[in-house]
Amino acid sequence: MKNSLLLLLGPIFIGSCIDRINIEVPDSYSSQLVVDGVITDEPGPYTVTLTKATRIEKFLQFHREFISGARVIISDNVGNSELLIETEPGVYQTKTNGIQGVIGREYSLRIQTDEGKVYESKPDKMHPVGEIDSLYYELETVQPIDKPTQYGFRVFVDAQGAPDRDNLLRWKFTGVFEINTHPELYGKVISFVEPPQCQRGPLPCTFDGPDGSCSCCKCWVSHYEVKPHLNDNQFVLNGKFKKVEVGYVPLEYFPFQFKYRFEVKQMSLSPAAFDYWKIVKSQKEGTGSLFQPPTGKSRTNIFEKEGGESVEGIFYASATKTKQVYLTNSDVISTWRGLIVPRWDCEIGKIAEDCRKAFRFSTTTKPPDWK
């Protein structure tokens, strides 16, 4: 029986590629190497993450071990190569001004672990990517029988592929929003008798900035897609893709207090990379369904040299185009005012917490391209 292991492929780096993938891990592969890496035609650094999934004791319990001390090299077919630097356990990066992807070239990955095992990927060619014509959204309203009205945005792209190409494309959606929190109001409810009784005390980061200011009051939070979005011939008309849905964002109180950014990257894929992400997509869509398709194991392009150990994951090359749309609070204020103001422990309508802990994937580092 296969057990589903949720892996975060890649750490949280501004500008790094991050994919949240459910990889099917059979019992026989419970300690196999997992590789996640991509090189694009955007400026680096590029990240390769090495992990190993190991069964610990009980059914469905796995431990993700980061693989340190490896020698990781990215190379192309015209003689360029770069040895990546391990920036944290299991995370290897190129230099900011290091190797950069070029359309038409082929790229390979070579890994030598501290145990002496060598893994190599098949060369992956970077294909042209076309253009994103527009990125837009539509407000959706749902009225459950026994719950308040729910609002959200369906996000779409109109795009076109490169002329005279197969145009195997992926659209990668990411949402980012800004939050301001109030760690000086931190408190925990100790009695739920109305009004609730709270035990309060400001968090240390309220005053530990360089000048005594708050170092954990402003964060940027990322939302990542739950499955890859790939092109489908039913959307093609003369090489153009019309109204391709790439994401859904619920309209909630805190994420839309200030500003929310929709971002879509259009990524070109080789046939091998397209097949890999197609299987991942089918696995994600079929999980928990009685009619789950028999998609099988995701195909990898990475193999142990002179050995038989299997590998999960992929290293691929992709040209990209990016488009962003911002929604400010004033854009959604008429609907936003109708939302229920949530309680955050002892506060209503305020986040009384270290902003880095308030939401998953939060960082105090402002995205360099934030507007």
Q: Is the pLDDT assigned to residue 109 strictly greater than 60?
A: yes
What mean pLDDT do residues 284-291 have? 61
Give residue 55's pLDDT: 57
Q: Is the pLDDT assigned to residue 231 strictly greater than 60?
A: yes
What amino acid is encoded at 120 in this protein? E
Q: Is the pLDDT assigned to residue 58 strictly greater than 50?
A: no
Q: Is the pLDDT assigned to residue 120 strictly greater than 80?
A: yes
Residue 88 or residue 8, greater confidence: 88
Give residue 175's pLDDT: 97
Q: Which of 30-39, 55-64, 120-129 has the lowest mean pLDDT?
A: 55-64
Q: Is the pLDDT assigned to residue 115 strictly greater than 80?
A: yes
Give the number of C-alpha atoms closer than 13 A to the C-alpha of residue 341, restricted to the C-beta side. 6
Pick from 213, 227, 217: nearest CA to 352: 217
Residues 55, 58, 64: CA angle, nearest 5 degrees: 30
Q: Give residue-wise pLDDT tens across range 205-214.
A: 999 888 889 9
Q: Is the pLDDT assigned to residue 6 strictly greater than 80?
A: no
What mean pLDDT do residues 47-64 have? 68
In whole angstroms, give the CA distance from residue 252 to residue 236.
Answer: 34
Give residue 190's pLDDT: 82
- Cα 184 to chain centroid distance, Å, stands at 31
Residue 311's pLDDT band (boundaries 50, 70, 90)?
Answer: confident
Pairing label, strands 150-160, 124-125: unpaired
Q: Is the pLDDT assigned to residue 111 strictly greater than 90?
A: yes
Give residue 326's pLDDT: 97
Q: Give residue-wise pLDDT tens across range 138-173.
A: 999 998 888 888 999 999 999 998 887 788 999 999
Characterise 74 by phi-psi region: left (phi > 0), alpha (psi -120 to 50), beta (else). beta
β-bridge partners, 54: 63
- The model carries a pTM of 0.84
Give residue 240's pLDDT: 87
Structure tokens at 141: 């309203």
Residue 131 or residue 291, greater confidence: 131
What amino acid is encoded at 16 in this protein? S
In whole angstroms, give the CA distance from residue 369 to residue 222.
Answer: 14
Cα–Cα distances (Å) from 137 to 174, 243, 321, in that order, read 14, 10, 19
Residue 147 or residue 318, greater confidence: 318
Query: What average pLDDT does the structure give for the chain?
Result: 85
Q: Give residue-wise pLDDT tens across range 322-343.
A: 999 999 999 999 998 889 899 9
In whole angstroms, give the CA distance from residue 17 to residue 344.
Answer: 32
Contacts of 87 (CB under 8 A, 6+ apart): 93
Q: Give residue-wise pLDDT tens across range 232-272.
A: 655 566 778 999 999 999 999 999 999 999 999 999 999 99
